[in-house]
């Protein structure tokens, strides 16, 4: 046997580069980046198509998620069951999707990032809106390709009768690229799409007259219209998304009712508690999460004599109540990844709809014409019914009947097939008036479809009618507020964030300092009252000595002078809180001291007065 195998020597680096490039292309185009036309990744598209194909639609009862996951994995998506179930759950979560595509029954997680129940416990079906994603898919409107095992066909894209990519947004990380498209309000996007269909030369500013900006399911506040405009113009941009909050003066508290999109609520509350400790926000009494299942309510309680406005300004100024949204409108356009502007995304969807609608109308026209041909055959047969029946009696089998009809009466293949398959009782009882009426209706419908196919404006009107139908059924109020101007926050005096209380402060010559609450100090006094030391001095290192030992307020400042002629200003609340019988911590964590530098004098400062000198 002759060996026909051909081996080509190639450097390992070239082989690796080629293999990696193929891998990167597959990840970008067939896993992580959505199609600009239907806004879906392959796993999402396969789930929705399979559920539609299996009849798991909104009008039918829900089905076990285990059944859905198993069928999708076995027929369309040969990957792990967890990736399929995660995608299924994600499409049902109202805090992640502007318009959920899956109607879920059971525990599908929470805004606290709790996991969904296992798929053997939950059930699902397509949401009513999802049916617009697959509408007319059975009319040869989209390209179908073989599945991984060549046993079935799957769509490369769904008809998607509404702009799903902009409405629900998406995120994904591929090789060397990533995408993040925020969700938008369905009504605004549909209005903008209709306007774009009717006005091909409309500008971005015209479109932004309808789409004010992203609309996140969790609400929030955006205060940067310039960043939004730049994002829609270039497809890339960043902006801050702030919490929705207000101050309850009666309860002396800050109430947060919406958290930034993408944040896990329990982690958000934890970060606020952490900032309370690290920033020494003593005037915050406690932070309580009073949220219900569908409503967010986080209460920051402020101490009685403190102002919630100061705490609010501080938290907003430090970015504790916001999240940075970094957007990249990367999508697959005509088979290639492309960073697209807002108008390009709309145009891609509109072009797809025109193509889908054209194919759907051509399919309907073909169906009508085929039926019209059959109706004409019935009517022709009716006029010679007795003669035809007599000849049918002498024919042998179906093929004989068809051959007789075609040869003797010039019936077409389709007409003779329909007549041959019709039961005799129906053939003899045919209602000629009903046939005439059906023929008139078919001819009228064929003419209507032909007029639509020949007139682009009429075709566009059908697109607009469908979009209006979606808007009427699924519109919702905007949840994210877009401000006209950027928010400003007043700088806050640090003392207003700190609870005012009297403490004992001790500072030594070597630079060790601490503050102790009066309660802790008095406990030390009580424990040492029998000793000979009536002052109950704090613990210090051997060879060190006290420079300052006094009861002061946490709002007081301390002016420190050193042996090298330097000075520093330190607020009492900045000192480490320690027990009275502990040594405290070195001031190097607050000010910079040289190794041979000592603290020689400390003054208590309530305020700096002009013209007053220290000597």
Q: What is the dihedral of CA 319, 295, 486, 483, to 10 degrees?
A: 170
Q: Which structure tokens are listed for 529?
A: 């009252």
Say whether 569 sits in a helix, a strand or coil.
Answer: strand
- CA–CA separation, 522 and 504 (whole Å): 10
Helices then strands, each counted (H, E), the chain = 18, 24
With beta carbons less than 8 A apart as the criterion, state whether 505 and 575 touch: yes
Q: 235: which residues sit within 8 A by CB, 6+ positions away?
A: 327, 328, 329, 330, 339, 340, 341, 342, 344
In whole angstroms, how far apart are CA 539 and each of 129, 542, 543, 552?
A: 72, 9, 12, 19
Q: Which structure tokens are listed for 254?
A: 């800050």
- CA–CA separation, 378 and 358 (whole Å): 30
Of the candidates 223, 258, 247, 260, the residue with the CA atom closest to the CA atom of residue 311: 247
Over the Cα atoms of the chain, what is R_g? 38
28: which DSSP letter?
I
- CA–CA separation, 274 and 255 (whole Å): 18
Catalytic residue among 23, 121, 567, 569: 121
With beta carbons less than 8 A apart as the criterion, state whether 346 and 354 touch: no
Other Cβ atoms within 10 Å of 218 Cβ, number: 22
**Measured distance between the N- and C-terminal CA atoms of the chain, rounded to whole angstroms:** 108
177 half-sphere exposure, CB direction, 13 A CA radius = 21
- 121 in active site: yes
With beta carbons less than 8 A apart as the criterion, state whether 134 and 48 touch: yes
- Residue 560: which region, alpha, beta or left (left: phi > 0; alpha: psi -120 to 50)? beta
What is the number of residues in the chain? 615
- CA–CA separation, 99 and 541 (whole Å): 66
Of the candidates 394, 411, 375, the residue with the CA atom closest to the CA atom of residue 403: 411
**The tokens 């970015």 sit on which residue?**
319
- CA–CA separation, 43 and 41 (whole Å): 6
In whole angstroms, how far apart are CA 585 and each of 508, 510, 568?
A: 10, 11, 17
* Buried b or exposed e, range 585-609, using 16+ CB within 10 angstroms: eebeebbebeeebbbeebeebeeee
Strand partners, 513: 507, 585
- Cα–chain-centroid distance for residue 400? 64
- Residue 610: which region, alpha, beta or left (left: phi > 0; alpha: psi -120 to 50)? beta
Q: Which residues are catalytic?
A: 121
């Amino acid at each position: 046997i002759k060996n026909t195998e051909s081996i080509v020597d190639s450097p390992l680096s070239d082989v690796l580069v080629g293999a990696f490039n193929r891998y990167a292309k597959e990840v970008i185009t067939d896993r992580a980046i959505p199609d600009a036309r239907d806004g879906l990744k392959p796993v999402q598209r396969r789930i929705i198509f399979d559920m539609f194909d299996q009849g798991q639609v909104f009008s039918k009862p829900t089905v076990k998620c285990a059944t859905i996951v198993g069928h999708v994995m076995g027929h369309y998506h040969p990957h792990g069951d967890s990736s399929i179930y995660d995608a299924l759950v994600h499409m049902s979560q109202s805090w992640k999707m502007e318009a959920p595509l899956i109607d879920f029954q059971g525990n599908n997680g929470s805004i606290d990032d709790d996991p969904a129940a296992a798929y053997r416990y939950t059930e699902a079906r397509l949401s009513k809106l999802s049916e617009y994603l697959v509408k007319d898919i059975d009319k040869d409107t989209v390209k179908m390709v073989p599945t991984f095992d060549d046993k079935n066909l799957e769509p490369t894209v769904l008809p998607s009768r509404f702009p799903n990519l902009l409405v629900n947004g998406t995120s994904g990380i591929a090789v060397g690229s990533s995408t993040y498209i925020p969700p938008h309000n369905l009504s605004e996007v549909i209005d903008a799409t209709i306007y774009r269909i009717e006005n091909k030369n409309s500008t971005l500013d015209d479109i932004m007259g309808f789409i004010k900006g992203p609309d996140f399911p969790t609400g929030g506040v955006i205060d940067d219209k310039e960043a939004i405009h730049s994002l829609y113009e270039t497809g890339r941009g960043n902006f801050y998304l702030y919490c929705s909050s207000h101050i309850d003066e009666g309860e002396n508290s800050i109430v947060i009712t919406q958290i930034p999109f993408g944040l896990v609520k329990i982690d958000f509350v934890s970060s606020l508690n952490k900032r309370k400790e690290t920033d020494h926000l003593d005037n915050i009494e406690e932070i309580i999460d009073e949220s219900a299942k569908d409503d967010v309510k986080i209460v920051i309680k402020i101490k009685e004599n403190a102002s919630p406005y100061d705490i609010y300004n501080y938290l907003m100024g430090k970015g504790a109540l916001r999240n940075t949204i970094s957007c990249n409108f990367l999508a697959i356009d005509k088979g290639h990844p492309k960073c697209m502007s807002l108008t390009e995304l709309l145009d891609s969807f509109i072009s797809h709809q025109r193509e889908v609608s054209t194919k759907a109308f051509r399919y309907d026209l073909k169906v009508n014409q085929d039926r019209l041909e059959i109706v004409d055959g019935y009517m022709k047969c009716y006029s010679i019914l007795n003669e035809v029946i007599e000849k049918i009696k002498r024919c042998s089998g179906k093929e004989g009947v068809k051959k007789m009809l075609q040869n003797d009466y010039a019936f077409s293949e389709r007409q003779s097939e329909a007549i041959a398959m019709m039961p005799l009782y129906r053939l003899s009882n045919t209602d000629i008036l009903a046939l005439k009426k059906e023929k008139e209706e078919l001819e009228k419908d064929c003419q209507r479809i032909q007029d639509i196919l020949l007139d682009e404006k009429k075709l566009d009107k059908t697109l607009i009618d469908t979009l209006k139908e979606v808007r009427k059924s699924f519109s919702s109020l905007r949840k994210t507020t877009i401000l006209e101007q950027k928010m400003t926050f007043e700088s806050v005096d640090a003392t207003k964030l700190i609870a005012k209380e009297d403490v004992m402060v001790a500072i030594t010559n070597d630079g060790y300092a601490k503050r102790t609450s009066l309660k802790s100090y008095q406990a030390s006094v009580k424990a040492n009252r029998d000793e000979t030391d009536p002052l109950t001095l704090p613990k210090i290192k051997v060879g060190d000595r006290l420079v300052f030992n006094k009861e002061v307020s946490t709002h007081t400042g301390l002016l420190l002078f050193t042996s090298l002629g330097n000075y520093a200003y330190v607020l009492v609340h900045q000192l480490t809180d320690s027990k009275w019988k502990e040594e405290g911590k070195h001031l190097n964590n607050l000010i910079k001291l040289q190794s041979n530098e000592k603290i020689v004098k400390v003054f208590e400062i309530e305020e700096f007065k002009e013209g007053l000198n220290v000597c």
